[in-house]
Amino acid sequence: MSASHVALVVGQEFRIRLRTGRWRWLLGVWVLLLALFTILLDTGLRTGYGSEEDNSLRGVPLFGFLMCFILGSMLVISPALTSQAVNGDRERGTLATLQVTRLRPLEIATGKLLAAWGVGLVALALSVPFAGYALYRGGIQVERMAVVYGVVALLIGTVCAVSQALSALLARSITSALLSYVVTAALTIGTVIAFGLALPLVSEERQMRAPFGGVEYTYTVQRADQVWWLLAPNPFVILADSAPRVPPRLTREGYEIRWESHDPLSAIGWEVRQLRMPPDYTVEDNGDGIRYYDSEGTEIPPPDELPVWPFGLGFAVLLGVASLAVTSVRLRTPADRLPRGIRVA
């Protein structure tokens, strides 16, 4: 693969994209939407956080909600960036002339993907000032912000790659666009539904004797620790869990606040790690830190050490790379078999 060929395709795609849409308007509307969201959220949180001390941490939920909003929006925008990348070119009759040049299939696929991803990243970059405002509001570390942005950027790339692969697999651009939204919905909503439906399947009956010589009774435990991975590919789970933790703080009464309940990122991250814990685990705090024990009394690692995001992020990267490979294979010529209803040129 030659870098200059990829750069050539990227430049070409960028130029065409830049000259087709009403980019200035679209990006303007996007910024306006972000501004509106940030202002309303900030106002809302002001009433929620009463005390002076809490108010200094207002940036945490502000940032969390803002990033969830940005990720949600990007999941809607990104499929549109590549859902016609291949079949649209085929419909317009510009693909075959590209395929007979010295550009190799992987170079065309990579160039197209990078250009689309680049457009997505421009939209993402426009949100940085608003996240910067959250940083100014306090409680957020630059490191946390950088990681969260990096993950969103990566997820945009994955969605673009999947959508592009669908456009290479399917003959009609309308079908591939629709299907790429189905895939996005499957990742965000489908994973939650799958998890919810899988949970009863892995529930177990357990016996327990009531204390002080009472009767034995059975109860049901849900083995979320067996199906937590169903939630791992969820983009919001990846984002929330991969975000570096907000440093724990103490309440006025001296209790350690383990996670920020007002912040969706902290909340989701905390919840999914809880899912990996065995059922009936117990927590003890004997003054030298919190310890976790399973039902047999053996000490087990705390939820902090059971991250979900490496699986989710790994899945996202694999999905993206596989999608790029699929696109490349579909662009390979001379073609053996063609999708139904496709003319080469």
**Residues of this chain that bind another protein (CB under 8 A):** 5, 8, 12, 15-16, 19-20, 89, 92-94, 96-103, 333-336, 338, 343-345
Q: Return the number of the residue (112 or 137) whose C-beta is nearest another protein.
A: 112
CA atoms of 231 and 188, how far apart (whole Å): 9
Q: Return the number of the residue (101 or 251) whose C-beta is nearest another protein.
A: 101
As measured in angstroms, the least distance from the Cβ of 15 to another protein is: 7
Residues 6+ apart with CB under 8 A from 182: none
Q: Return the number of the residue (100 or 215) whose C-beta is nearest another protein.
A: 100
As measured in angstroms, the least distance from the Cβ of 222 to another protein is: 51
As measured in angstroms, the least distance from the Cβ of 78 to another protein is: 22
- Per-residue DSSP letter, 208: E
Q: Return the number of the residue (18 or 32) whose C-beta is nearest another protein.
A: 18
Q: Return the number of the residue (100 or 210) whose C-beta is nearest another protein.
A: 100
As measured in angstroms, the least distance from the Cβ of 154 to another protein is: 29
Q: Return the number of the residue (16 or 185) whose C-beta is nearest another protein.
A: 16
- Is 110 within 8 Å of 1 (Cβ atoms)? yes
Handedness of CA 168, 172, 173, 179 (dihedral sign): negative
Q: Report how far apart, in Å, the C-alpha atoms of 72 and of each of 145, 189, 239 are.
A: 17, 12, 11
Q: Return the number of the residue (91 or 225) whose C-beta is nearest another protein.
A: 91
As measured in angstroms, the least distance from the Cβ of 148 to another protein is: 35
Q: Return the number of the residue (93 or 150) whose C-beta is nearest another protein.
A: 93
Q: What residue type is assigned to position 172 of the chain?
A: R
As measured in angstroms, the least distance from the Cβ of 4 to another protein is: 8
As measured in angstroms, the least distance from the Cβ of 14 to another protein is: 11
As measured in angstroms, the least distance from the Cβ of 108 to another protein is: 9
| Paired strand residues for 218 | 207
Six-digit token string for 160: 């673009």
Question: What is the bridge-based pairing of β-strands 216-221 and 249-250?
Answer: unpaired
Which runs of consecutive H residues, i.e. helices, occur in 126-255?
128-137, 142-169, 173-185, 191-201, 224-227, 235-242
Residue in 132, 143, 139 with CA at minimum distance from that of residue 247: 139
How many Å is the maximal CA-CA distance in the chain? 84
DSSP string for 227-287: HGGGGTT-HHHHHHHHSPPPPPEE-TTS-EE-S-TT-HHHHHHHHHHHHTSPTT-EEEE-S
